Amino acid sequence: MSNILVAYFSAGGTTKRTAALLAKAAGAELFEIQPKEPYTAADLDWTNKKSRSTVEMNDPSSRPEIGKRLANMADYGVVFVGFPIWWYTAPTIIKTFLESYDFAGKTIVPFATSGGSGLGKTESALRPCAPAAVWKTGKVLRGETESSLKSWVESLGV
C-alpha cells in the first residue's frame, strides 16, 4: 500500500476527476470527503444568501459533519487535500476533515480546482486546523495531465 493519500471534497465532479488523476500520478490511495448531509443544487446556489453553502462559508465556526471517517489515517505520511474554491477559500468541510485526525508529523499538500480564482489565503486559513503537520505549498489544478501531475508530485519531494 502507498503511504500517500489523496483526500478530496467535490461538489460538482471537477475535483473528483482531478483527485483521481492525481492519485494515479502519485501512486496514492483515494478517499472522498463526503458530508453527512449531501449538498443539493439549492444548497450550492452561491447567489442565494440563505443557501446552505453561503451560510456555512459566512460562518467561520461552521464545521459540516462528515459522513464517513477514514479508519487508517495512521498509515499515511503524505496527504494531498483537495477541494473546489468557494468564496476564494476552501469549503468549511475541509476544516472539519483536518480537525478530525492527528496530522502530527504528516505532510499535507493542499490542491484546489477553480474556474478562475487562485488559492488566495486558503493555506493560511487551513494551517491552524492541523498545526503539527508539515505543510507544502499548494496549487490550483486546471486541465492537468497525469504527466504534469507526476512532475508536480516529484517536485514536492514527498
Task: List, for residues 52-79, the tens digit of each pLDDT value.
Answer: 999 999 898 999 999 999 999 999 999 9
Q: Is 13 a domain residue?
A: yes
CATH (domain of 105): 3.40.50.360
What is the residue-wise DSSP string for 82-102?
A: EEE-BTTB--HHHHHHHHTS-
Q: Is 101 a domain residue?
A: yes
Q: Is 113 a domain residue?
A: yes
Q: Where are the alpha helices (DSSP H) in the chain?
A: 14-26, 52-57, 92-99, 122-126, 146-156
Q: Is 38 a domain residue?
A: yes
Tell me which residue of 143, 35, 138 sits closest to 94, measured CA to CA. 35
Cβ neighbours of residue 67 closer than 8 Å, sequence gap 6 or more? 34, 35, 36, 37
pTM, two decimals, is 0.94
Q: Is 158 a domain residue?
A: no
CA-based diameter of the chain, in Å?
44
Quote the number of domains for the chain. Answer: 1
Q: Is 105 a domain residue?
A: yes
- Which of the two residues, 23 and 157, has the higher pLDDT score? 23
Instruction: Provide the domain limits for residue 30.
Output: 4-153
Q: Is 88 a domain residue?
A: yes
